[in-house]
């Protein structure tokens, strides 16, 4: 090729070639950094998979937490409103109905995710990942039927998540995972506290059925007051703005 003898063309050719090699080198360096294993020793694929599992748990847990929290806050609002009724028989009926609305969550087992307590020797990461496994084995009611639009929406959201993770190093993703684990652990503790209150309310309500109306009326009020002053409820009740 005769044009290669031209010094100007040769210079441009060498410059272009160097730029191309430099770009390739930068890409290789970036890819090498991304492909480096996480501090924990997990592969990039494992770290990304963990990120997805934690995200799924957070979505399901937040839903159950908000449901449990809102049910108890609504109970307190209705209890407060019931004080305007002076007729004991009317109020007795109201107390029974408002408690039933809460404890039905225990009967509808699919409404709230069922996560056991942390074992004594279980570390925080192990416990959170065990919660992931439990959640994955239980399907929320209605999740089995999805429209084409819903499936397309979920696929698009996943592509966006994968693109975001692709621009992060493995170590950065694992750091995010560690933060997610800590956040989920705190949420799990708050959720389990509320769940225990609902279970105790159900047991106490069922046990009170054997009593006549007047002593049971007092028992129902005490059940609600007990939740109102419980530390687990008091910790989260301020998160909800009641709409009158």
Do 167 and 202 lie in one domain? The reply is yes
Is 5 inside any structural domain? yes
Residue-wise pLDDT for 80-138, tens only, equals: 999 999 999 999 999 999 999 999 999 887 889 999 999 999 999 999 999 999 999 88
Same domain, 17 and 104: no
Same domain, 217 and 112: yes
Q: Distance between CA atoms of 80 and 46, rounded to whole angstroms? A: 51
Residue 124 lies in a domain: yes
For 25, the domain range is 1-35
CA distance linking residue 90 with residue 83, whole number of Å: 11
User: Are 78 and 11 contained in the same domain?
Assistant: no
Q: For residues 21 and 15, give the distance between their C-alpha atoms in angstroms, rounded to a whole number.
A: 10
The predicted model scores a pTM of 0.79
pLDDT tens digit sequence for 209-229: 999 999 999 999 999 999 999
CB-side exposure of 9: number of CA atoms within 13 Å? 6
Token pair recorded at residue 116? 């056991």
Do 189 and 108 belong together in one domain? yes
232 vs 220: CA distance, rounded Å: 19
244 domain residue, yes or no: no
> Do 71 and 17 share a structural domain?
no
Residue 2 resides in a domain:
yes
My answer on whether 47 and 111 are in the same domain is yes
The residue among 237, 236, 188 whose CA lies nearest residue 62 is 188
Which residue's structure tokens are 């956040």? Answer: 183
Is 10 a member of any domain?
yes
Residues 81 and 188 in one domain: yes
Do 19 and 48 have their domain in common? Answer: no
Rounded-to-integer distance, Cα 51 and Cα 177, Å: 6
Task: Count structural domains, the chain.
Answer: 2
Report if residue 164 sits inside a domain.
yes
Does residue 19 sit in the same domain as residue 61?
no
Is residue 157 assigned to a domain? yes
31 and 59 share one domain: no
pLDDT digits (tens, 9 = 90+) for 131-185: 999 999 886 554 556 788 878 888 888 899 999 999 999 999 999 999 999 999 9
Counts of helices then strands in the chain (DSSP H, E): 8, 0
DSSP one-letter string for 12-40? HHHHHHHHHHHHHHHHHHHHHHHHSPPTT
Verify that 221 and 111 share a domain, yes or no.
yes
pLDDT tens, residue by residue, 62-75: 999 999 999 999 99
Q: Give pLDDT, residue 244.
A: 36
């Amino acid at each position: 090729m005769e044009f290669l003898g031209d010094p100007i063309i040769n210079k441009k050719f060498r410059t272009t070639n160097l730029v191309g090699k430099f770009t390739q080198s930068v890409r290789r360096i970036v890819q090498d950094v991304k492909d480096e294993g996480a501090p924990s020793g997990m592969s990039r694929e494992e770290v990304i998979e963990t990120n997805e599992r934690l995200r799924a748990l957070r979505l399901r847990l937040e839903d159950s937490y908000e449901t449990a929290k809102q049910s108890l806050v609504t109970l307190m609002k209705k209890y407060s409103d019931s004080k305007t009724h002076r007729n004991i028989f009317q109020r007795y009926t109201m107390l029974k109905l408002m408690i039933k609305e809460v404890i039905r969550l225990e009967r509808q087992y699919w409404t709230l995710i069922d996560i056991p307590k942390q074992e004594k020797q279980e570390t925080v990461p192990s416990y959170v990942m065990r919660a992931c496994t439990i959640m994955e084995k239980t399907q929320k009611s209605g999740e089995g039927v999805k429209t084409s639009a819903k499936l397309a929406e979920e696929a698009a959201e996943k592509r966006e998540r994968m693109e975001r993770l692709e621009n992060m190093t493995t170590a950065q993703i694992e750091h995010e995972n560690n933060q997610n684990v800590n956040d989920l652990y705190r949420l799990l503790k708050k959720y389990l506290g509320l769940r225990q209150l609902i279970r105790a309310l159900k047991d106490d309500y069922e046990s009170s059925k054997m009593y006549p109306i007047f002593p049971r009326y007092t028992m129902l009020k005490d059940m609600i007051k007990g939740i109102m002053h419980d530390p687990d409820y008091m910790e989260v009740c301020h998160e909800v703005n009641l709409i009158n």
